[in-house]
Amino acid sequence: MDKKALYNISYGLYIITSKKENAFNGQVANSVMQISSDPASLLVSLNKKNLTNEFIKSSRRLAISVLSQDFPLSLIGRFGFNSGRDIDKFDGVNYKLTDGGLPYIAESTLAYLEAAVVNEVDAWTHDLFLCELTGAEVIKEGLPMTYAYYQQIKRGNIPQDSVSNEPNLKEKESKMDRYVCTTCGYVYDPEVGDPENQIPAGTSFEDLPDDWVCPVCGVGKDDFEKEN
Ligand code: FE
C-alpha cells in the first residue's frame, strides 16, 4: 500500500473557530466539506486533542473562514503551529464577529460560514462534526487557497517557476540552495525570498539576517537544514 496516493485527494484550507464561554480559539484545517445544500449542511473533522475541538463540543457552534490565496503565512503559522492553550491566537489579529458572535479572520478571507453542530461521530483520532449552516457571508471575490497551493507555492515545496507559463522562468536553474524548516516543513527558496518579511528574491539563506525566523512557525535559522 502506498499512502502517498492519499496526497492526490484535494482540499481547501480554512481557519475553524469556536468559543467557550468568553474565550475564542481557532485552528487551520483542510477538512471541511459540504454535505447537502438543503438543508445547507457541512462536515468538519478535527483532532480530538485540539483546543478548538474542545470549544466546539462546549458551544456546539463553529465558524469557518475560507482563506484567499494571498492569506499570509504568518497567520497560517499563528493558527496552525501554536496551541490556544499557550497563546491567545486572536491577540493582534484582524478579526470580526459573525452574527452569532463567533470570530472570523477579516483579512485575506473570501467568505465565512457559521454553523451549529447537530451530530458528532467518533472517528479514531478525530471527531466529525455534522453541522447545519446558520450564517454565511461573501467578503470578497478571489481565488480560494487550496491545500495543494499552500504546500506547493506558499511553502515553496516546488519552485514558483515550475508553475509559471513563462518559458524563460521555467528554464532558469537555481544556483542557490533551498533550506527546509525542520519544525514545520516550510522551504526557504532564495529565488522567491520571503516577501512577507521584506526579504527580496535572490537573497541566499546565508545572507538572511541572523534574527530572521521561519515565516510560518517562527523558529530561527538554526532550525533549518539544507534541502537534499
Ligand atoms: Fe517553520
**How far, in Å, from the CA of 35 to the mean position of ligand 1?**
34
**How far, in Å, from the CA of 215 to the mean position of ligand 1?**
7
Contact 95, 104 (CB under 8 A): yes
**How far, in Å, from the CA of 216 to the mean position of ligand 1?**
5
The pLDDT value given to residue 174 = 52
14 contacts: CB under 8 Å, gap ≥ 6: 28, 29, 30, 32, 64, 65, 66, 67
Contact 10, 146 (CB under 8 A): yes
**How far, in Å, from the CA of 186 to the mean position of ligand 1?**
5
**How far, in Å, from the CA of 126 to the mean position of ligand 1?**
24
Give the three-state DSSP class for 42: strand
Query: What is the residue-level pLDDT of the chain in tens, covering all 228 positions?
Result: 999 999 899 999 999 999 999 999 999 999 999 999 999 999 999 999 999 999 999 999 999 999 999 999 999 999 999 999 999 999 999 999 999 999 999 999 999 999 999 999 999 999 999 999 999 999 999 999 999 999 887 777 765 555 444 444 444 455 799 999 999 999 999 999 999 999 999 999 999 999 999 999 999 999 999 998
Question: pTM surpassing 0.75?
Answer: yes
**How far, in Å, from the CA of 96 to the mean position of ligand 1?**
27
* C-alpha grid cell, residue 123: 472517528
Whether the CA torsion 102, 105, 106, 109 is positive or negative: it is negative
The pLDDT value given to residue 168 = 46
The pLDDT value given to residue 57 = 98
**How far, in Å, from the CA of 157 to the mean position of ligand 1?**
13
